[in-house]
Every structure is written in structure tokens, then in C-alpha cells.
Amino acid sequence: MKSWLLADSPASRLQANLGQLYLLLRGFFRSPLAVIGFGIVCALLLCAAFAPWLATHDPYQQALTHRLLPPGAEHWFGTDHLGRDIWSRVIYGSRMTLLIIVMVAAIVGPLGLAIGIVAGYVGGWVDRVLMRITDIFLAFPRLVLALAFTSVLQPSVESAIIAIAVTSWPAYARLARAETLMYRGSDFIQAIELQGASRLRVLAGHITPLCLSSVIVRLTLDMAGVILIAAGLGFLGLGAPPPQAEWGAMIADGRNYLIDSWWVATIPGLAICIVSLGFNILGDGMRDVLDPKTR
Amino acid sequence: MTQWFNRRSLGAGIKACALQVSMFVITILGLLLVTFVIGRVVPVDPVLVIVGDRATAEVYARVHAELGLDKPVYQQFLIYLYKVMQGDFGTSVLSSQSVARDIAAFFPATIELAVTGTLIGVLLGVPLGVMSAVRKDSLLDQVVRVVALVGYSIPIFWLGLVGLLVFYVKLDWVAGVGRIDAVYEYIIERETGFVLLDAMLHGQWDIFRNFLSHLALPGALLGYMSMAYIIRMTRSFMLEQLVQEYVVTARVKGLSEWRIVMHAFRNVLAQLITVIALSFAYLLEGAVLTETVFAWPGLGLYITNSLFAADMNAVLAGTTVIGVCFVLLNALADALGRFFDPRTRSVRT
């Protein structure tokens, strides 16, 4: 199997691609940090998927007789000021976090990629106009603009997602444009053009796949930042409305009980740290493998 | 020949400069357009905010006209631009003062935080980043990298709360929330708006000490954020330089390690200055969350408080001011980079 994957002269395209993938994966799993990051992100996915089974209590069930209980056998991470089980709320909160980052990535990645490769490939005034717009958005303070946007859109998860997406796409447009410029003049693109391929075909079939890997690495690294901004918006009360379990908002809940009941604010914060750390090291690991400069 | 050459490069320089300035103006206009649009689509009726919901239709119509809301949208934007140029952001509903005055009162506190953070970040981050690159993969490098990694993975508002719990509540090493203790609020002579300067100018040393005790925790936190970013960038810049051929040549010639590092460092200086200017800009906005946690009366706290009072004039003005600073710092970073690094001068964007 291994020798088939690493054959010098692969018999089919499939064999060559699988061999390439095998090498990438081997490089990736050789770095212990990257594996830890991968594990954390997988754990987040599993928590979100199996939340009803992992949670020990109903995350919305209030029990005022059980408020602010310290961590123990019945409530692993204690309870908050309304007697809700914090472990269960943290587990359910992973769904909110995952929803936000998946939606932001789904909006920002394709949008930035499209703007960047069109600007880079078409060039001329299209490029100039698109890049000026990108520069304008790139020069904006992210969190403050997200604050202003959510104020217009009424606090909700959707508006948090839109606000973060609006302030995040320019970096991807820049990246995709730089990559496109690198490939645009290369021989193989000119060969395809000489064969009569349409612009759309060159863009969609040949340039986009080449830009994908760096955009994906950037997205992974950025997810840590997105989690932090989303948590910040939640903390300020501009994220998911109560009683939804959202990590940032849970920290805000615990703020008033910090002195006597440290666990209410501390535990959701730890969850945010771990997940954002996971994305950071996963992204670093992926960059080390995918970036041709360091390969 | 040389004359011709000089004139040509001067012309190119002026052209590049003009391009930069026009780019800057366009970016600011774009920023104002965005805040203007936000202000127009906001679900709060600006007229109702002023007249209240019991006003007669006549009063409503008069205020509506006074605010220029009956004019076409592009004219409204021009009026908005004209007013902003004059520093007129309207009146704050919350404080019933002019927003510009409010901002002048709140802004120094944010600057205090950002300057402290940047100072700590630069003084610790640059040496650590350089050492980490020079001793790559050593224990020191591993530790520094983890410290930096944690720094940009941690939610700052949470770290602030934990810091308050540990250093204020449990250990009592620092003062709690706020900028100075409430008792000093009425004693302090206000002149520059910067507490440290005011206290020094008037010899109020107890206020000086009290302020430092309040500043220590939020300043250190922002410093940590800034340090994490600066370490990461310094390390990667230095690593890039240390494999260059001139470093190999210097080694072959038998230069001391210290001299080699200084050679390499000289070459990352330009990039580093850009990074420091950017980190200052990030701190200006990172201060929003820190100020909320520490009840620090800066622009971030002003914006969030106004947000919940639906005081849109104040929110948009705050956003504009931070945005303009951000754009300015970006442009400054660019210009400094060009000035210190001749290699980037010929690159046209």
C-alpha cells in the first residue's frame, strides 16, 4: 500500500493525488502540536454533534434552589446564578461557537477568494477599484466596526456573524489576489489560454484550486480571532440573546458573582481559550505542511 | 546626467506621496460613508430621540427639517461630511453635551492604556522575539513561543476578570476598577486630561501613585496582547534574515554572534516599526473590551455605554474617531516602513 502510494511513476491521476495526500498527512501528523490542535478541533465538533448526550442536565432548566453551587459530583462545573448546570451550558455553547465560525468561514472564504482572483486576473481598472474598496475595509478597526454593525442589526447571532464577516473578508481578497498575480503570468496558464479556454474556465478550473490551500490555512488561523471577537460581542451583550448558551455571554453572567463564585465566569473562558488555541496550532501545523516555502 | 536622474526620482517621489495621500483621503471618505450609512439605516428614529414620542406633528416636522432629513441622501452625506470636518458630531442624548466634548474627555484614558500596552509590548516583545529566533528550538524558544501563542488565543476580557479576581480580590496587589479612586475624582486638577501628567504638573503624588496602581493590571494585559503579536512577528522576521547569505559571510569572517545578530536586526527594523505602529492601532480597539471590564472611562466604554442607550451620534462619532486613528496609524506604519527600508521605495502598489 505504502509503495503504491509513493510510486515514482503513478499509473493514474488518482494514485498521484492519493500519494500527495499521504505525504501531506504524514508531514502533518509528525508534528505533535498540530495533532493536539487537530484533536481540539475534533473535540469541538464532537461536543457540538453529541451535545444532548454529553450534557448531564438541561442547559436551560433553571433551579433557583441550586444557584451558584460549586463544582462537584452532581454539577461537574457548578451552577450559575439561575441554577443552570455550567457543564451542560458549555457543551451546548460549542454549538453556538461552531455555528458562528462555520458561517463566517462560509461567507468570508468564497467572497474574499472571488474578489481577489477576479481583481488579480482581470487587472486594469477592475483591479484598482476592487483593491481600493478592499483597502478601505482593511483599514477599519474590526471590533469597533462590528459593534457599530450589530447596533444597526439588533443583537442576535446572525448579526454577529454578518458583522464579523463584513470586517474579515478583505484579508482574503488581498491574499487571493497576490496568489493569482503569481500564477497569472506562468506558462501553464498561458498554455491553457492559447488552447482557447474561457476566462471563467481559467479562473474557476485552474487558478482557484491553486489559491485554495493558502486561503484555507488563513481561514483556520483566523478562526481563533473570530472566536475571540464573537465571544467579545457576546460578552458585551451583542451576541445571542439570553437564555441561549453562548460562552462570551456566560462570562458576562458570571461577572457579578466573580468574588464568591469564580467558576461561573472562569469555566466558559477556559473553553474559549482551549478552542481558540486549538485553531491557532492547527493552522500553524497546516501552514507548515501546505506552504511550499517551508516544505 | 545625475541632475536628470535626481529630478526624475524627485518627481516619482512626489507622485508616490500624492498617491499615498489620495489613498488616505479615499479611505477616510469610505469610513465616513460607512458610518453615515449605519446612522441612516439604524432602527432608531433620530427625530423621536430628540422630541420624544408625545410631540405634535408640527414639532416633529420642524426637527425633521432641522436635522436635514428632508433633503436628498447625497446632500445629507455632504452635510454630514461638512459637520465632521468641523468636529461637529451632534449632541449626545446620554450626556446632553456635544459629542465632540465627550470624546475629548474620554479619549485620553484610551491613549493612556494603549501607550502603556505598546511600551510593555515593545520592551519585552522585541528582545524576546530576537532571542527566540537566535536560539531557535531551544528551551527558551519553546517557552517564548507558547507564551506568545497563549497571548493571542486568550479572550482579553476574561483574562481581565481573572486578573481582577487574583490580583485585586485575593492578593490585593493592585487597585480595582476605574481610573483613580472615587475620592480623588473631585480633587484632581484637570488640565491635559492625562491623569499622569496632570498629577505631576500639580504635584499631586498620591493621585499619581493611585493611578499607577489602577493602570497596572489593564496596562499589563494589553501589554501582554501586544507582546504576543510583536514576539511572533519579530521572531519570523529574524528567522528570515538569519539564513541569508550575508549572515553566512559574516560567520565565515569570524564575526561575533552579537555583531551578526545586530546586522540582522538592522534589516528587520523597518518591518518592525510597521508592526509596532499596527500593534498600537490594535490596542486602541482592543481597549474597548478592557475598558468595559475595568470600567476605565475611555472611548471604548463610551461607545458601548452609548450603544445601549441608543445614542447613535455618540456611537458613530466614537467609531469614526477610532477608525480615523486606525487609518492614520496604518498610513504612518506604511510611510515609516518606506522611510527606513529603501528596498520598498521602488515597489509600486
The per-residue pLDDT for range B234-290, each reduced to its tens digit, is 998 999 888 888 888 988 988 888 888 888 888 888 888 888 988 888 888 777 889
B152 lies within 8 A of chain A by CB: yes
Say if residue A108 is in the same domain as residue A158.
yes
The answer to the question of residue A295 being in a domain is no
**A150 CB neighbour count, 10 Å cutoff:** 23
pLDDT tens, position by position, A75-118: 888 888 888 888 899 999 999 999 999 999 999 999 999 999 99
pTM: predicted TM-score of the whole model, two decimal places: 0.85
Separation of alpha carbons B267 and B269, rounded Å: 6
Half-sphere exposure of A88 (CA within 13 A, CB side): 18
Give percent above pLDDT 90 in chain A: 19
Of B41, B150, B319, the CB nearest to A277: B150
| Residue B344: burial class (beta carbons within 10 Å; 0-12, 13-18, 19+) | middle
CATH architecture assigned to B104-297+337-344? Orthogonal Bundle (1.10)
DSSP readout, B187-214?
Answer: TSPPSSS-HHHHHHHTT-HHHHHHHHHH
The residue with greater pLDDT, A66 or B157, is B157
Cell of B310: 441608543
Question: What 8-state DSSP symbol labels residue B97?
Answer: S
Separation of alpha carbons B110 and B298, rounded Å: 5
Q: Do B153 and A224 touch (CB under 8 A)?
A: yes
pLDDT tens, position by position, A229-257: 999 988 988 887 878 888 988 998 888 88
Q: Is A143 in contact with B284 (CB distance < 8 Å)?
A: no
Mean pLDDT of A157-169: 87
- Amino acid identity of residue B199, one-letter, is A
The alpha-carbon gap from A11 to the nearest alpha carbon of chain B, in Å, equals 39
The alpha-carbon gap from B19 to the nearest alpha carbon of chain A, in Å, equals 12
Separation of alpha carbons B238 and B236, rounded Å: 5
Closest residue of chain A to B43, computed from CA coordinates: A152
Question: What 8-state DSSP symbol labels residue B93?
Answer: T
Say if residue A25 is in the same domain as residue A151.
no
Say if residue A195 is in the same domain as residue A217.
yes
Cell of B114: 494603549
What integer pLDDT is reported at residue B348 of this predicted model? Answer: 44
What integer pLDDT is reported at residue A218 of this predicted model? Answer: 86
Say if residue A142 is in the same domain as residue A276.
yes
Cβ pairs A/B, distance under 8 A? 131
Of A143, A266, A272, the CB nearest to B162: A266
The answer to the question of residue A161 being in a domain is yes
Mean pLDDT of B223-241: 91
The answer to the question of residue A179 being in a domain is yes
What integer pLDDT is reported at residue A113 of this predicted model? Answer: 92
Separation of alpha carbons A103 and A162, rounded Å: 9
B335 lies within 8 A of chain A by CB: no
Is the pLDDT assigned to residue B43 strictly greater than 80?
no
B38 lies within 8 A of chain A by CB: yes
Of A136, A228, A259, the CB nearest to B27: A136
ipTM higher than threshold 0.90: no
- Amino acid identity of residue A136, one-letter, is I
How far is residue A241 from each of residues A93, A165, A236, A246, B305, measured CA to CA in Å?
A: 13, 19, 11, 9, 18
The alpha-carbon gap from B159 to the nearest alpha carbon of chain A, in Å, equals 8
Give percent above pLDDT 90 in chain B: 15
Say if residue A233 is in the same domain as residue A160.
yes
**A53 CB neighbour count, 10 Å cutoff:** 7
What integer pLDDT is reported at residue A100 of this predicted model? Answer: 92
The alpha-carbon gap from A136 to the nearest alpha carbon of chain B, in Å, equals 5
- The pLDDT-based confidence of B1 (bands split at 50, 70, 90) is very low
Chain B residue numbers touching A281 (CB-CB < 8 A): 149
Q: Do B285 and A280 touch (CB under 8 A)?
A: no
Question: What 8-state DSSP symbol labels residue A132?
Answer: H
The alpha-carbon gap from A259 to the nearest alpha carbon of chain B, in Å, equals 7
Mean pLDDT of A268-295: 82
Mean pLDDT of B174-190: 76
Q: Of the spans A2-16, A187-201, B45-59, which averages the highest pLDDT?
A: A187-201
Average pLDDT of chain B is: 82
Chain B residue numbers touching A93 (CB-CB < 8 A): none
Say if residue A63 is in the same domain as residue A147.
yes
Of B156, B157, B315, the CB nearest to A151: B315
Chain B residue numbers touching A132 (CB-CB < 8 A): 23, 26
B222 lies within 8 A of chain A by CB: no
Chain B residue numbers touching A231 (CB-CB < 8 A): 155, 157-158
Say if residue A16 is in the same domain as residue A88.
no
The answer to the question of residue A81 being in a domain is yes
What integer pLDDT is reported at residue A273 of this predicted model? Answer: 93
Q: Is B247 in contact with B264 (CB distance < 8 Å)?
A: yes
- Count structural domains, chain A: 2
Mean pLDDT of B301-323: 85
Chain B residue numbers touching A255 (CB-CB < 8 A): 161
The alpha-carbon gap from A112 to the nearest alpha carbon of chain B, in Å, equals 19
Chain A residue numbers touching B284 (CB-CB < 8 A): 141
Q: Do A144 and B162 touch (CB under 8 A)?
A: no
Q: Do B165 and A259 touch (CB under 8 A)?
A: yes
- Kindly report the CA angle at B22 between B344 and A167, in degrees rounded to 5? 80
Closest residue of chain B to A258, computed from CA coordinates: B165
Q: Is A78 in contact with A70 (CB distance < 8 Å)?
A: yes
The alpha-carbon gap from A251 to the nearest alpha carbon of chain B, in Å, equals 7
Q: Do A141 and B308 touch (CB under 8 A)?
A: no
Long-range contacts of B338-342 (CB under 8 A, 24+ apart): B340/B269, B340/B270, B340/B273, B341/B269, B341/B270, B341/B271
What integer pLDDT is reported at residue A153 of this predicted model? Answer: 76
Separation of alpha carbons A202 and A96, rounded Å: 38
What integer pLDDT is reported at residue B219 of this predicted model? Answer: 92
Q: How many residues does chain B have?
A: 349
What integer pLDDT is reported at residue B93 of this predicted model? Answer: 74
| Residue B170: burial class (beta carbons within 10 Å; 0-12, 13-18, 19+) | exposed
- Residues from A in contact with B at Cβ < 8 Å: 132-133, 135-137, 139-145, 147-149, 151-152, 154, 224-225, 228, 231-232, 235-238, 248, 251, 254-255, 258-259, 262, 265-266, 269, 272-273, 276-277, 280-281
Q: Do B307 and A151 touch (CB under 8 A)?
A: yes
pLDDT tens, position by position, B95-112: 778 888 888 888 888 998
CA B69 to chain centre: 33
Domain spans of chain B?
19-85, 104-297+337-344
Mean pLDDT of A191-211: 86
How far is residue B343 from each of residues A168, B83, B130, B173, B270, measured CA to CA in Å?
A: 30, 41, 22, 48, 10
Any bridge partners for residue A74, and if so which?
Answer: none
The answer to the question of residue A189 being in a domain is yes
**A292 CB neighbour count, 10 Å cutoff:** 7
What integer pLDDT is reported at residue A101 of this predicted model? Answer: 92
DSSP readout, B275-300?
Answer: HHHHHHHHHHHHHHHHHHHHT--SHH
Mean pLDDT of B150-179: 87
The alpha-carbon gap from B243 to the nearest alpha carbon of chain A, in Å, equals 13
The residue range of the domain holding A25 is 1-30
The alpha-carbon gap from A249 to the nearest alpha carbon of chain B, in Å, equals 11
Q: Do A148 and B35 touch (CB under 8 A)?
A: yes
Say if residue A130 is in the same domain as residue A14.
no
- The pLDDT-based confidence of A295 (bands split at 50, 70, 90) is very low
Q: Tell me if residue A79 falls in helix, strand or coil.
A: strand
The residue with greater pLDDT, B49 or A63, is A63
- The pLDDT-based confidence of B345 (bands split at 50, 70, 90) is low
Cell of A95: 454549538
- The pLDDT-based confidence of B3 (bands split at 50, 70, 90) is very low
Separation of alpha carbons B135 and B133, rounded Å: 5
Long-range contacts of B11-20 (CB under 8 A, 24+ apart): B16/B345, B16/B348, B20/B331, B20/B334, B20/B335
The CATH number of the domain where A158 resides is what?
1.10.3720.10
Q: Tell me if residue B91 falls in helix, strand or coil.
A: strand
Q: Is B164 in contact with A251 (CB distance < 8 Å)?
A: no
Mean pLDDT of B14-18: 76
What integer pLDDT is reported at residue B320 of this predicted model? Answer: 86
